[in-house]
Amino acid sequence: MPYSVRLTVNGMPHDLALDDPRVTLLDLLRERLALPGTKKGCDRGQCGACTVLLDGRRTNACLVLAVTLDGAAVTTIEGLASGEELHPIQAAFLEHDGLQCGYCTPGQIMSAAGLISEGHAGDDLDRIREGMSGNLCRCAAYHGITRAVQDATRRMAGGDDA
């Protein structure tokens, strides 16, 4: 018996029939909606590679069952940019070398987007580190990530554009 779920993903509505109620949001995004930017890391909610915005809040997609999300809005890394124009967070990650291998980068960027929109980023590097602590980077690009979040926070507040 299929389960019906209506989701808005990156601004596009999707009416989905799920045969298995145990399908996670992560697997739905990657396997059914062909959005591979959200990464499967630990599959236990410990690494943050699967971070998306769910109704505007940071969420580990591997921990959420898709059947529980009827009517929800999901933003993935694919939906952050505006056409060819990078989101300020994406641009800041590039400019501050906030990535090395790039595997954790989508989750880091989505977590940063949530942190900034929640008003918890600020300019304090320790506060940013604490706010981003649920996202692991095995390449240790933390310095660049933290600086990128700080810079993007300023840009999004209308401050320094450089």
Helices (H) and strands (E) in the chain, counts: 5, 5
Q: Is the pLDDT of residue 85 over 80?
A: yes
Whether 3-79 shares its CATH topology with 88-156 is answered no
Q: Is the pLDDT of residue 49 over 50?
A: yes
pLDDT at 160: 52
Looking at residue 77, its amino acid is I
What is the Cα–Cα distance from 54 to 57, expressed in whole angstroms? 5
Q: Is the pLDDT of residue 162 over 60?
A: no
What is the Cα–Cα distance from 113 to 115, expressed in whole angstroms? 6
Q: Is the pLDDT of residue 77 over 50?
A: yes
Q: Does domain 3-79 sit in CATH 3.10.20.30?
A: yes
Residue written as tokens 């591997």?
Answer: 62
Q: In the predicted model, what is the mean pLDDT of residues 12-35?
A: 97
Q: Is the pLDDT of residue 159 over 70?
A: no
Burial grade of 64 (CB within 10 A; 0-12, 13-18, 19 or more): buried
Contacts of 67 (CB under 8 A, 6+ apart): 3, 5, 18, 21, 23
Task: Break the chain into its structural domains and give their ranges.
Answer: 3-79, 88-156
Range list of H helices, the chain: 25-27, 88-95, 105-117, 125-131, 142-156
Confidence of residue 157 (pLDDT cuts 50, 70, 90): confident
pLDDT-above-70 percentage for the chain = 98
Q: Is the pLDDT of residue 70 over 80?
A: yes
CATH number of the domain at 88-156, out of 3.40.50.300, 1.10.150.120, 1.10.3720.10, 1.10.3470.10?
1.10.150.120
pLDDT at 129: 94
pLDDT at 36: 97
pLDDT at 29: 98
Looking at residue 67, its amino acid is V
Confidence of residue 120 (pLDDT cuts 50, 70, 90): confident
Q: CA 142, 122, 139: angle at the middle one, nearest 5? A: 5
Average pLDDT value for the chain: 93
User: How is residue 30 annotated by DSSP?
Assistant: I
10 Å Cβ neighbour count for 42? 13
CB 39, CB 108: distance < 8 Å = no
Tell me, yes or no, if the pTM score tops 0.85: yes
